[in-house]
């Protein structure tokens, strides 16, 4: 098991950790069970069309975006480090029954880089979590907050076809996708 994780008995239906979104998102990021339970089914995933269809970014012959519905739970790679009181990144996803506590087997604090993560209130019942290259939206559904949209931003948005878009390709970083459960 990865440092900073503990395996707990899988709860059948974990309760909503809080109606307050700030408290909810901290608990959500640190619990595999909460990520499974409070991901809407289905939820909307939006990303650049070229990522799924092996086309050239910016090519006007193709749509810019593709939106699909996904029913698998979302396992995020962000955590809330209570010792630092900051969001941090993690190198692996939490599965059902796993909880991140920030300490390794020896009781030493696991050091992770602080993540550029911003929580933004969209409306009374909706918040967005902005991270580099991604926007994740949570919506209040009467009993708790649910992850309802996960949008990947397009680094090629607005490039001039074809030269500028093709020139940007050599600088494109590797994109990592979550495997479905």
Whether the per-residue pLDDT at 178 is higher than 70: the answer is no
Residue 175 lies in a domain: no
**Omega of the bond leading into 42 within 30 degrees of 0 (cis):** yes
The proportion of the chain whose per-residue pLDDT surpasses 70, expressed as a percent, equals 90
Average pLDDT of the segment spanning 11-26: 91
Q: Looking at residue 181, what is its pLDDT?
A: 44
Query: In this predicted structure, what is the pLDDT of residue 177?
Result: 47
Interacting residues of 10 by C-beta distance below 8 A, sequence separation 6+:
33, 96, 97
Residue 174 forms part of a structural domain: no
Contacts of residue 156, defined as CB under 8 A and 6 or more positions apart, other chains included, come to: 48, 50, 57, 58, 165, 168, 172
Does a structural domain hold residue 46? yes
Flag whether 179 is in a domain. Answer: no
Q: How far is CA 45 from CA 41, 60, 110, 145, 153, in A?
A: 12, 22, 31, 17, 11
CA atoms within 13 A on the CB side of 106: 3
Give me 159's structure tokens.
Answer: 């490039």
Tokens encoding 74? 């979302």
Q: In the chain, how many domains are there?
A: 1
pTM over 0.75: yes
46's tokens: 């939006």
Please spell the DSSP secondary structure of 53-89, one letter per residue: HT--TT-TTS-SEEEEEE-SPP---EEEETTTTEEEE
pLDDT tops 80 at residue 168: yes
Domain that residue 77 falls in:
5-169
pLDDT (mean) for 53-59? 91
Lowest-confidence region among 8-12, 92-96, 155-159: 8-12
Say if CB 154 and CB 64 are below 8 A apart: yes
Residue 77 lies in a domain: yes
Q: How confident is the model at residue 26 (pLDDT cuts 50, 70, 90)?
A: very high
The 10s digit of each residue's pLDDT in 103-126 is 877 888 887 888 899 999 999 999
């Amino acid at each position: 098991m990865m440092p900073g994780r503990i395996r707990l008995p899988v709860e059948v239906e974990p309760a909503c950790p809080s109606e307050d979104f700030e408290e909810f998102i901290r608990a959500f990021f640190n619990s595999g069970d909460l990520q499974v339970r409070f991901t809407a089914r289905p939820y909307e995933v939006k990303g650049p069309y070229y990522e799924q269809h092996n086309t050239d970014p910016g090519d006007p012959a193709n749509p810019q975006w593709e939106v699909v519905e996904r029913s698998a739970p979302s396992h995020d790679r962000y955590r809330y480090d209570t010792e630092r009181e900051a969001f941090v990144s993690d190198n692996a996803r939490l599965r059902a029954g796993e909880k991140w506590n920030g300490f390794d087997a020896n009781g030493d604090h696991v050091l992770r880089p602080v993540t550029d993560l911003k929580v933004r209130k969209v409306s009374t019942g909706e918040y967005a979590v902005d991270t580099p290259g991604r926007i994740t939206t949570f919506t209040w559904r009467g009993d708790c907050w649910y992850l309802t949209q996960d949008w990947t931003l397009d680094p090629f948005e607005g490039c001039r076809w074809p030269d500028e878009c093709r020139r940007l390709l050599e600088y494109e970083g590797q994109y990592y996708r979550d495997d479905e459960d």
